[in-house]
Amino acid sequence: MPFATDAFRFIDAATLRAWLNDGRELALLDVREAGQFGEGHPFFAIPLPFSRLELDAPRLLPRTSVRIVLIDDGATASGAGIDHAPVAQRAAARLHALGYSNVAVLEGGAPAWQRAGRTLFRGVNVPSKTFGELVEHAYGTPHVSASQLARWRAERGGCPLALIDGRTREEHRKMAVPGAVCVPNGELPAWVDAFAGPPDTTIVVHCAGRTRSIIGAQTLRNLGVRRDVFALENGTQGWALAGLTLEHGSTRSYADLPPLSEAERDTARERARALAERFGVSAVDAGTVRQWLGDPARTTYLFDVRTAEEYRRDGLPLARHAPGGQLIQATDQSVAVRNARIVLVDHDGIRAPVVAHWLVQLGYETAIVEAGSLASTSAEAEPSSTVDEDAPVDPAALILDLRASEAHQISRPAGSIWTNRARVFGALRARNVHRDAPLIVFADARSRDAARLVVQDLRDADYTGVTLAAHGINGWSSAGWPVDDTPLRLAPEDRIDFLFFVHDRHDGNLDAARAYLEWETGLIAQCAEDELAVFRVGEAALSGR
């Protein structure tokens, strides 16, 4: 693909700040890899790594005329041509080829934003985690420390206690407070009466840190559940820091309970409806949603907030899956356009209204729609790849391992090098690889689609000997090709796909856990006034109706 110099324009940090505050739609996309993003990014930046750009852009950017700004590390071009261009410019050219018509690049990248006096935030899901802290402040969400909870369990005798883990089943299985039952926050509104027990039951919601404990507990309080409800302060990390032992491998789940009765569903549905009405969440019909989805001047997201199993069984064609609890916890993984409109659907009228009342407080215009009315709506087919696989392997080829760097460190094709789409051209130049040299792009099931993008990049840059081998290390070995399983440690600065910031906080590193909790509780203080102004929490949301 020729480098389309008309694919974008440059803007400066002052212009970006003005755009962030002008009330119009804007997608601020950080196209660096996960490790780079997590070490410092603007508050409203959405992670869209260049390694997955074409795979995730249609989902995150459903309207091709939306205003887009791309951010990278501010590097300058190392020469002429797309293979020498900085990542943001390469991303702009690719978006242009996909039909996106309003793309800008922040000149100087993230460093320029910092030089303009703005904060670069470490970590991930920063707006949602900041929101959790604001919720605790605004509502005064009651919390209990790990040591206090341990005393309650030892001393209360017959007083009932319901301990809920508001995270996903996978996270719960890895580690949980002993005895907790997994009820993801998005499922809490439907199931609370099934596990709450008698009226004198105390409910404690925990997560791994803070946000989902707070949101889960406050969800029950906002619904008017007549129990004492607490958030476990600092979650599993707080439990470990108190010297208490976590449970590993638990499979306890709300899904093991008997199905809800119609009376229980009716009660939950009425509570959810009243809560949504209180926060001004509108209910719209299918015709309105279809009109919104087809509006060329406004972005609308339609999310099915049920479980993955339910979505696979009978999800609506046009709705993307975003489990309710995770949509609140990690909004930036599903919604890339600021000032866009969000519509939620759930098939039972219980979960979507509750999730919607939180999205309103996160600052989004949010509505709900009944699932049945949308059942006849069809979706466009997903684009398919044109990159072939299983071409003959040239023994003299340079093997480019495009899997996760963690996988490469464990085991790799003998003689291969680890690289990433963002750095593949630099890796080839460093080795003086000619454009007619044989190259093998190596991938596994998880990285296959991203590897196809690299193959296309290389071919577009006139590398003529590129083939794709995408059956993973077992497939490579089964085909008779040598494998090197000697433990390898890549230089941290090369592992741009991996975030080192407190990465081992759940694996026994208590110092990392302390650092993480200090980071999370310090987010509000790092924010500028215009960054906090987007949230409308508690009474602010009600008074703004």
Q: Where are the domains of the chain?
A: 9-123, 128-259, 271-374, 398-490
Determine contact, residues 107/9, Cβ cutoff 8 Å: no
Q: Are 535 and 363 in contact (CB under 8 A)?
A: yes
Instruction: Give the pLDDT of residue 388.
Output: 56
- The predicted structure's pLDDT at residue 2: 44
Given a contact cutoff of 8 angstroms between Cβ atoms, the answer to whether 459 and 441 are in contact is no
Q: What is the pLDDT of residue 80?
A: 75
CATH of segment(s) 9-123: 3.40.250.10
Question: 498: which DSSP letter?
Answer: S
480 Rama class: left (phi>0) / alpha (psi -120 to 50) / beta: left
Residue 195: the pLDDT is 83
- Same CATH fold assignment for domains 9-123 and 271-374: yes
Q: What is the pLDDT, as a whole number, of residue 394?
A: 84
Given a contact cutoff of 8 angstroms between Cβ atoms, the answer to whether 127 and 145 are in contact is no
pLDDT along the chain (545 residues), means of 10: 71 98 98 98 99 98 99 88 90 98 98 98 98 98 98 81 97 98 97 88 97 98 96 98 98 94 95 97 95 97 96 91 97 98 96 98 96 60 54 85 98 98 97 98 98 98 96 95 96 97 94 98 98 92 65
Q: What is the per-residue pLDDT for 395?
A: 84
Q: Is 203 helix (H, G, I), strand (E, B) or coil?
A: strand
CA neighbor of 300 nearest in space, from 319, 317, 281: 319
Q: Residue 394 pairs with which residues in a beta bridge?
A: none
* Long-range pairs of 21-25 with CB within 8 A, sequence gap ≥ 24: 21/530, 23/339, 24/67, 24/339, 25/63, 25/66, 25/67, 25/298, 25/299, 25/337, 25/338, 25/339, 25/340
Residue among 98, 121, 130 at smallest CA distance from 47: 121
- What's the CATH number of domain 271-374, 3.40.800.10, 3.40.250.10, 2.40.180.10, 3.40.309.10? 3.40.250.10
Rounded CA gap, 359 and 167, in Å? Answer: 18
> Which pLDDT score, from 0 to 100, does residue 105 have?
98
Q: Could you give the count of Cα atoms lying within 13 Å of 151 in the half-sphere of its Cβ?
A: 6
Structure tokens at 12: 């400066």
Looking at residue 431, its amino acid is: R
Q: What kind and span of H or E run contains 514?
A: helix 510-521
What pLDDT was estimated at residue 371?
Answer: 77
Q: What single DSSP character describes residue 373?
A: G
Whether the predicted model's global pTM rises above the 0.85 cut: yes
Q: How high is the pLDDT of residue 5?
A: 63
Beta-carbon contacts of residue 245 (< 8 Å; ≥ 6 apart): 178
Separation between Cα atoms, residue 24 and residue 93, nearest integer Å: 24
pLDDT of residue 157: 66
The predicted structure's pLDDT at residue 3: 52
| Spatial separation of the C-alpha atoms in residues 2 and 8, rounded to whole Å | 14
Domain spanning 398-490: CATH superfamily? Rhodanese-like domain (3.40.250.10)
Surface-to-core class of residue 149, CB atoms within 10 Å of its CB (0-12 exposed, 13-18 middle, 19+ buried): buried
Report the amino acid identity of residue 308: A
Give the CATH number of domain 128-259; options: 1.10.3720.10, 3.50.50.60, 3.40.250.10, 1.10.10.10.
3.40.250.10
